[in-house]
Amino acid sequence: MLWTRAVSPPPVAPATPEGRAAAAYLGLAVGDALGATVEFLTPREIQHQHGTHRDIVGGGWLHLKPGQVTDDTTMSLALGKAILAAGHVDARAAADAFDAWMRAKPVDIGNTVRRNLIAYRKTGHPEAPLSEHDAGNGAAMRVLPVALATFGQPPDVVAAACRAQGHVTHHNLLSDAASDTLAAMVHDLLAGQGLDTARRHADALAAAHPLFAWQGKRRDNPSGYVVETLQAVFQALFSTHSFEACLVDVVNRGGDADTTGAIAGMLAGACYGPDAIPTRWRKAVDTEVRQRVEWQAVALLKRG
């Protein structure tokens, strides 16, 4: 009917892959900044200190400024810049970017990241040795630039790109499986396929690697172990119906809350789009970071 066309708003950017990509990257930064305040606290300690934690206020064990982000976001930005400069996802370019990032004295850095970047300086080999102990969440937390740059590419290309960036610091089968799953979920969500479709990848991960089974006991205090990280993220994502509710749920579980916040923010941003990110959070994130993530999201997607 003609009159409905006249009064309906025109198609707007939020529903496009570009809009969802920008929301995913901003969601990553928002979740990082929100969660960092309560990183390493227990849910009980969070309740005692903050009530339900729902504002970006800085502080935490890193003594952050309000809106400041941590390694989850800054490593992603370093990786995204390297991908854009190289024109593709390249292991050496990623290793050099992470090495430069470490030299710039980041506010925080994971043990596995530090150890394997120091090894890279010595060996010049941009792939850490296979280790069953390196199942931290450090590769998964920075997978978004790769997911954006490989949107629309065949699964083997996506997997090779995930390996190239992930193995610089985390050469581990569980880390690999987590990165593949997150990239596939981001791809479905960018395409507007919704949570039910994206959820199939989380279910497939749990079927292939039963350690990741996430339906069941509530995962509070998720550690930096990528299995616990994704369990908390999936429980929050699939039990809520908005960006805000998902992030409030996941960071109030405590533990590695900046990283669960970052990964949940990435997925919820891609799912619900930019208009779903609360204005108070969008405004609270460091302005330069916000501009960089939104610019990089679109630039990386154009590469795919």
Kindly state the smallest distance separating residue 209's Cβ from Mg ion, in Å: 22
Of 69, 71, 128, nearest to 95 (Cα)? 128
Which C-beta is closer to Mg ion: that of 166 or that of 274? 166
Kindly state the smallest distance separating residue 108's Cβ from Mg ion, in Å: 5
182 in Cβ contact with 147 (< 8 Å): yes
Burial of residue 214, with CB atoms counted within 10 A of its CB: 0-12 exposed, 13-18 middle, 19 or more buried: buried
| Cα gap 161→146, rounded to integer Å | 7
Which C-beta is closer to Mg ion: that of 70 or that of 240? 70
Residue that the structure tokens 């999936």 belong to: 234
**45: its two tokens:** 């300690």
Which C-beta is closer to Mg ion: that of 72 or that of 249? 72
DSSP codes, 138-189 = TTGGG-HHHHHHTTTS-HHHHHHHHHHHHTTT---HHHHHHHHHHHHHHHHH
Kindly state the smallest distance separating residue 22's Cβ from Mg ion, in Å: 21
Which C-beta is closer to Mg ion: that of 70 or that of 150? 70
Which C-beta is closer to Mg ion: that of 36 or that of 161? 36
Kindly state the smallest distance separating residue 70's Cβ from Mg ion, in Å: 3
Kindly state the smallest distance separating residue 171's Cβ from Mg ion, in Å: 20
Kindly state the smallest distance separating residue 233's Cβ from Mg ion, in Å: 13
Q: How far is CA 209 from CA 55, 173, 175, 188, 283, in A?
A: 35, 10, 11, 21, 39
Which C-beta is closer to Mg ion: that of 137 or that of 150? 137
Output DSSP code: residue 276. G
- Provide the phi-psi class of 292: left if phi over 0, else alpha when psi is between -120 and 50, else beta: alpha
Compute how many other C-beta atoms are within 10 angstroms of the C-beta atom of residue 65: 12
Which C-beta is closer to Mg ion: that of 55 or that of 108? 108
For binding to Mg ion (CB under 5 A), which residues are involved?
70-72, 108, 256, 258-259
Compute how many other C-beta atoms are within 10 angstroms of the C-beta atom of residue 90: 18
Kindly state the smallest distance separating residue 1's Cβ from Mg ion, in Å: 51
Of 286, 282, 212, nearest to 27 (Cα)? 282
**157: its two tokens:** 């290309």
